[in-house]
Chain A
Amino acid sequence: MIPHPPSAAPVLEVDDLQIGVRKRPAMQILRSVSFKIHAGETLAIVGESGCGKSMTSLAIMGLLPDAVERRGGSVRFKGAELPITDNRAMRKVRAAQIGMVFQEPMAALDPLYPVGKQVLEVIEEHEDIPRAKAWARVIDLLARVDLPNPEVLAWSYPHKLSGGQLQRVVIAMALACNPEVLIADEPTTALDVTVQAQIMRLLKRLQRDTGVAIVLITHNLGLVAHTADRVMVMYAGYKAEEGQTRDLFLAPRHPYTQGLLDATPNPDRLAAGGGVLREIPGTVPSISDPMPGCRFAPRCPRAQEVCRASVPGPVFEGSHGYACFNPVPAARG
Chain B
Amino acid sequence: MSTPLLSIEDLHVSFRVGKQMIHPVRGISLTLERGETLALVGESGCGKTTLARTILGLQAPSAGRIQFLGNEIAGLDRHALKPYRRHIQCVFQDPFSSLNPRKRVEQLIREPLDIHKIGDPAERLRRAHAMMERVGLPPDWGRRFPHEFSGGQRQRIGIARALVMQPDLLICDEPVSALDVSIQAQIINLLWELKRDMGLSYLFISHDLMLVETFADRVAMMYKGEIVETGPARAVWSNPQHDFTRRMIDAIPVPDVTRPTPAAFRIDR
Contacts and interface: CB of A to CB of B under 8 A. Distances in A.
Direct contact of A and B (CB under 8 A): yes
A225 B259 CA distance: 9
A292 B53 CA distance: 48
Interface string B246-265: 01101111111111011011
A172 to B, nearest CB: 18
B269 interface: yes
A326 B185 CA distance: 24
B152 interface: yes
A281 to B, nearest CB: 8
A245 B257 contact: yes
A275 interface: yes
Nearest to B257: A249
A265 B213 contact: yes
A280 B180 CA distance: 11
B17 interface: no
Counting chain B CB atoms within 10 Å of each CB, the highest count among A246, A275, A281 belongs to A275
Nearest to B180: A48
Q: Chain A's interface: helix, strand, loop or mixed, by majority?
A: helix
B265 A201 contact: yes
Contacts, number: 130
Interface residues of B, number: 44
A49 B251 CA distance: 25
A147 interface: no
A208 B268 CA distance: 9
A310 interface: no
Interface in A253-289: 259-261, 263-270, 274-281, 283
Contacts of A223: 253
Interface in B217-269: 233, 237, 247-248, 250-259, 261-262, 264-267, 269
Nearest to A220: B253
Contacts of A79: none
Nearest to A268: B256
A219 B181 contact: yes
24 contacts: A48-B181, A48-B182, A193-B207, A197-B264, A200-B265, A201-B267, A208-B267, A208-B269, A219-B180, A222-B255, A226-B253, A226-B261, A226-B265, A227-B253, A227-B265, A260-B181, A263-B182, A266-B210, A270-B213, A270-B214, A274-B214, A276-B188, A277-B215, A283-B183
Interface of B: 43-44, 150, 152-153, 180-186, 188-189, 192, 207-211, 213-215, 233, 237, 247-248, 250-259, 261-262, 264-267, 269
